[in-house]
Amino acid sequence: MAEPMRNFVARSLAIIALLAICNAVLAGERVVSKYTSTARGKSLSFKDDSDVPEGGFEALFSGFGGYQLLHLAGDERSWINIRFGKQTVSLYRATMEAGGGTFPHKANDIVEWRGSEKDGRFIPYAIIYRLSAGNDETRKTHTRLVIIKLDKERSAVIGYTEGANEDAEAKELADKARSK
């Protein structure tokens, strides 16, 4: 894509995100971030599978708006699935693709929840969390922020960001998902 076209697309996306945020403000809502932890001590339940050859665990964590996070690990990979009510959405394949390397795994305990807040009520529409993965050729690791749109049983990985502006770009991508 030519540089002028790339700049036009980037400006257009920024304007769309700004309009979505302005719409929320006019409706008396604020777009905010809240944070939860996937530290083992914060889990609602924890199942240790370290005694099987590929190892791993399954841990359930509280979220917001009726959502729960199911943090899974095995074979040196880890990821988050989304649970809403009795439905669990498997995001393994999309998360491994977004990891962009070998053995993608959740890089820390932080999960950012993007949502709107009105009259003290928080309504989440996306989560953002950091993945780390390796590169077999360079033997180096990289990290990326993975963005998941929350849509009950239709929740899905909608992209990732990396680099100097990854945090702002991840929030922008999450906020665009709100308006779809």
Per-residue pLDDT band for 12 (boundaries 50, 70, 90) equals low
pTM tops 0.95, yes or no: no
Does the pLDDT of residue 110 top 90, yes or no? yes
* DSSP letter (8 states) at residue 100: -
The DSSP code sequence of 43-64 is -SEEEE-TTSTT--EEEEEE-S
Domain boundaries, the chain: 3-37+89-178
pLDDT for res 75: 75
Per-residue pLDDT band for 136 (boundaries 50, 70, 90) equals confident
Contact of 81 with 88, CB cutoff 8 Å: yes
- State mean pLDDT over 109-116: 97
Does the pLDDT of residue 6 top 60, yes or no? no
Distance from C-alpha of 141 to C-alpha of 111, rounded to nearest angstrom: 20
Percent of the chain with pLDDT over 70: 84
Q: Is 92 helix (H, G, I), strand (E, B) or coil?
A: helix
